Amino acid sequence: MDPMAITRKSLPESLPIQVRKVLPRYKEGGVFVKFFHDPAVPAIDIETTLQAYLRDHPIRPWFSPFRRVRSFLVQGRPWLEDLHRFPSSKLKIEFVSPSPGSEASDLSEETLYALFRKYGKLGDITPQPTSSKDLPRYAVLQFSRIRHAIMAKNCMHRYMVSESEGGARAGTLLKIMYEQRIKAHVIRDWIFNHPRIVIPLIAAFLATFTVAVFDPIRTFFIKSHITHTFHITDNKAYKWLRSQATRANDILRLKRHKTEDASLSTIWDDRKSAIEKIQNWLMETADTFIVIQGPRGSGKMELVLDQSLKGQGNNLVIDCKPIQEARGDSATIGAAAAEVGYRPVFSWMNSISSLIDLAAQGTIGTKTGFSETLDTQLAKIWQNTTNALKAIALDGRSNNDKDSELGDDEYLEAHPERRPVVIINNFLHKSQESSV
């Protein structure tokens, strides 16, 4: 609501004043109204009349339906500032001498109560300790509500307390300012002063954030790597173009490669029993693994991928050679992540985390848990890979299936054809090199 509209609504026409100027105070939520009045009518009577009118005809703005508009006569000289200071329910009142050379006396709690109680309920009055040497002398008033403190400050700032009211012989000038209940930078100071609590909390937050945000993304990329979602070689248009190019190449070469295909077909016919044995093993329980050994160049990968798993799409090939040949933890993590499609991976953060952990240990005396060992990070990669493989195997399962009451493990045991196959190549790469 417009402050000007509230002001016009709050002043009755019968009030013997002439409004001169209205000064809104948006930061404090009020207005100053300057007015002329007949000298024969005391200002205190105008204040009493207006307060009675607002009490009998309450005005409640829509943003504050339970509090009515109140008015008080300004007795001091308010300071209209636009500094970065905000209202508080606590006021600091300084006692200043009105002229140089004169002394200002402290006001008693009874005097302060008599001067400020009309603006609202006071919670406490705290005078300056007698042992304190701070000048000027002061007292702290705690109001029950902020709006009461706002009215008291704006009405009583630079009010002259006469000797009859409890001030000094020459009078005591009141300088009022808001006293912030919370000191500046208290949160920052607490954080820097309690590293034993803050640093583990930050580590826990980062770990939780990583699991909540990055783990689903990494699982998605692993699934895409296994199912070849973004591989152009599995695109239908690419396959069609490739088949047309192959047919054209056959015509140009007069199909001279048929003899080669016939020889390869003969070789695989000789290994047909081995291929069928591998296929039968794959249909058995998933709690085992198959080891295929042979000299280099004997066609082990072709036997598994091109023959035994022919037509089965969801296969994951992990080549151990680049992982074992990687130098350093970061390179090993990057190589392992590349094999399964684990991304995004921040392998360079391992070194930085180790430095942070070392610095924190020197500061607070204990490790923070920022850094992780190579085994821990590799375990995360394999765990995400396991989750992705399980999600692929269970993809397409619905509650309408006849075996929907089976658990995940029981379902995969009953449908071995849905299980993805993991092929680990060059598993004994280092041992093979040492034996040569």
Mapped to the 3 state alphabet, what secondary structure does 39-89 carry? CCCCHHHHHHHHHHHHHHCCCCCCCCCCCCCCCCCCCCCCCCCCCCCCCCC
Question: Omega of the bond prior to 87 within 30 degrees of 0, cis?
Answer: no
Q: Are strands 421-425 and 315-319 parallel, antiparallel or unpaired?
A: parallel
**pLDDT tens track for 67-125:** 888 999 999 999 988 888 889 999 999 999 888 777 778 899 999 999 999 999 999 99
Q: 421-424 contacts: CB < 8 A, separation 24 or more?
A: 421/282, 421/309, 421/312, 421/314, 421/315, 421/316, 422/315, 422/316, 422/318, 422/389, 423/301, 423/304, 423/305, 423/315, 423/316, 423/317, 423/318, 424/318, 424/320
Distance (Å, whole) CA 317 – CA 228: 12
Q: What is the pLDDT of residue 149?
A: 93
Q: What is the pLDDT of residue 305?
A: 73
The H or E element spanning position 236 is: helix 236-252
Return the amino acid letter for 355. Answer: L
Q: What is the pLDDT of residue 151?
A: 93
Q: What is the pLDDT of residue 183?
A: 66
DSSP-assigned beta bridge partners for residue 32? 23
Q: What is the pLDDT of residue 269?
A: 66
Q: How many CA atoms lie within 13 A of 36 on its CB side?
A: 3
Q: How many angstroms separate the first and last alpha carbons of the chain?
A: 89
Distance (Å, whole) CA 99 – CA 171: 9
**pLDDT tens track for 334-366:** 899 899 888 887 766 666 666 666 665 565 555
59 alpha-carbon distance from chain centroid: 43
Q: Which residues of the chain have pLDDT under 70?
A: 1, 181-184, 232-235, 250, 252-270, 285-287, 311, 347-372, 430-436
Distance (Å, whole) CA 423 – CA 416: 16
Q: What is the pLDDT of residue 265?
A: 60
Q: What is the pLDDT of residue 146?
A: 92
CA max distance for the chain: 127
Cβ burial, residue 218 (10 Å; 0-12/13-18/19+): buried
Distances (CA, A) of 158 to 91, 142, 174: 14, 19, 5
Place of tokens 């029981």: 410
pTM here? 0.49
Distance (Å, whole) CA 404 – CA 398: 7
Name the residue among 411, 410, 383 with its Cα closest to residue 395: 411
Distance (Å, whole) CA 216 – CA 220: 6
Contact 1, 61 (CB under 8 A): yes
**pLDDT tens track for 256-292:** 555 555 555 666 666 777 777 777 777 776 667 778 7
Q: What is the pLDDT of residue 436?
A: 30
Distance (Å, whole) CA 278 – CA 290: 8
